[in-house]
């Protein structure tokens, strides 16, 4: 009788184990389905990285800046973000261009805001690079075109992240609205961060999305200093600061981080400076050479590699 009772207990335990396994499987499936809708997996993976790599105007050390070739190379090299300077043309189209004029990086002349998209599209945005950097010159860079923000989103979709900079938004009313409309059209809200020298521009975007990472850009002409009051004010609307690397130091980085803000210095192109920035504890780095930065990060993570 004891043996029969024992067999009965064993069967009951087996049944309970199977039931628990079924419930656990169902729970995992439920969590996964909810995660697909509400969790941003790219963000979760990105947060594990020690330093965020931002391809400044793309991998612009190797290809014509702010072109699809440059952005494509930045993505291929493994940058976390491609940085895009957003400007608006005379006919209300958004294009990627750093300077307020087309003079330096095309064969044309004129202010971006005074030219139509058709006029800008007629320009050669690549040959200047081949002439200035013959070591990296390529035939297919010749006659490269200035891309629109739409074309960039179409080219890369959710295969990368975008650090969007609103350039001189006070001179182009409605720029932020058009930019954000494109972000929503391509369902990229979880794939963008926005930076600007304009607090008003960032505040406007914050009213549309409480979670999008925002970075207040700062430029220093002398050794950088920042007050706790300024840090507190920035912290009311932004997640971090972008400052010119050559004017900051480790104390500046510490102070920014102590305030709870992130710091992404720009533009760091020499590996000795990249190493310094990483050792200071910066959260991300803007660079024209994302492969060099990733190499530095790897070496610092594994000195014996």
Q: Do β-strands 240-243 and 214-218 pair in parallel, antiparallel, or remain unpaired?
A: parallel
Q: Residues 27-36: pLDDT tens digits? A: 434 433 433 3
Three-class HEC string of 175-208: HHHHHHHHHHHCCCHHHEEEEECCHHHHHHHHHH
- Write down the pLDDT at residue 41: 36
pTM more than 0.75: yes
Query: Is pLDDT at 231 greater than 60 in this prediction?
Result: yes
* Spatial distance between the Cα atoms of 61 and 49, rounded to a whole number of angstroms: 23
Beta bridge partners of 287: 55
Domain boundaries, the chain: 1-39, 40-301
pLDDT for res 242: 98
Active site residue 286: no
pLDDT of residue 2: 38
Annotated catalytic, 56?
Answer: yes
As assigned by CATH, the class of the 40-301 domain is alpha beta
Report residue 131's pLDDT band, with 50, 70 and 90 as the boundaries: very high
Under a CB-based contact definition with an 8 Å cutoff, are residues 240 and 263 in contact?
yes
36-59: per-residue pLDDT in tens?
333 343 443 355 557 999 999 999
Residue 1 has pLDDT above 70, yes or no: no
């Amino acid at each position: 009788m004891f043996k029969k009772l024992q067999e009965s207990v064993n069967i009951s335990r087996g049944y309970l184990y199977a039931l628990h396994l079924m419930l656990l499987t169902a729970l995992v499936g439920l969590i996964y389905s909810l995660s697909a809708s509400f969790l941003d997996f790219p963000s979760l993976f990105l947060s594990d990285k020690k330093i965020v790599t931002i391809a400044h105007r793309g991998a612009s050390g190797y290809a014509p800046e702010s072109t699809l070739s440059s952005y494509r190379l930045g993505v291929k090299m493994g940058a976390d973000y491609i940085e895009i300077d957003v400007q608006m043309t005379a006919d209300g189209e958004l294009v990627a261009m750093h300077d307020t004029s087309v003079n330096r990086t095309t064969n044309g002349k004129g202010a971006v805001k005074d030219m139509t998209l058709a006029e800008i599209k007629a320009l050669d945005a690549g040959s200047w690079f081949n002439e200035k950097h013959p070591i990296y010159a390529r035939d297919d860079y010749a006659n490269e075109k200035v891309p629109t923000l739409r074309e960039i989103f179409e080219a890369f979709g959710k295969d990368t992240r975008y650090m969007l900079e609103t350039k001189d938004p006070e001179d182009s009313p409605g720029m932020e609205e058009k930019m954000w409309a494109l972000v929503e059209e391509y369902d990229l809200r979880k794939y963008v961060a926005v930076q600007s020298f304009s607090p008003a521009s960032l505040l406007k975007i914050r009213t549309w999305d409480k979670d999008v990472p925002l970075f207040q850009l700062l430029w220093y002409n002398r050794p950088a200093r920042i007050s706790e009051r300024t840090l507190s004010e920035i912290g009311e609307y932004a997640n971090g600061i972008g400052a010119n690397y050559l004017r900051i130091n480790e104390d500046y980085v510490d102070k920014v981080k102590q305030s709870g803000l992130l710091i992404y210095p720009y533009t760091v192109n020499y590996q000795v400076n990249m190493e310094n920035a990483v050792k200071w504890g910066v959260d991300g780095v803007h660079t024209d050479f994302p492969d060099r930065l990733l190499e530095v990060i790897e070496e610092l993570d594994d000195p014996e590699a």
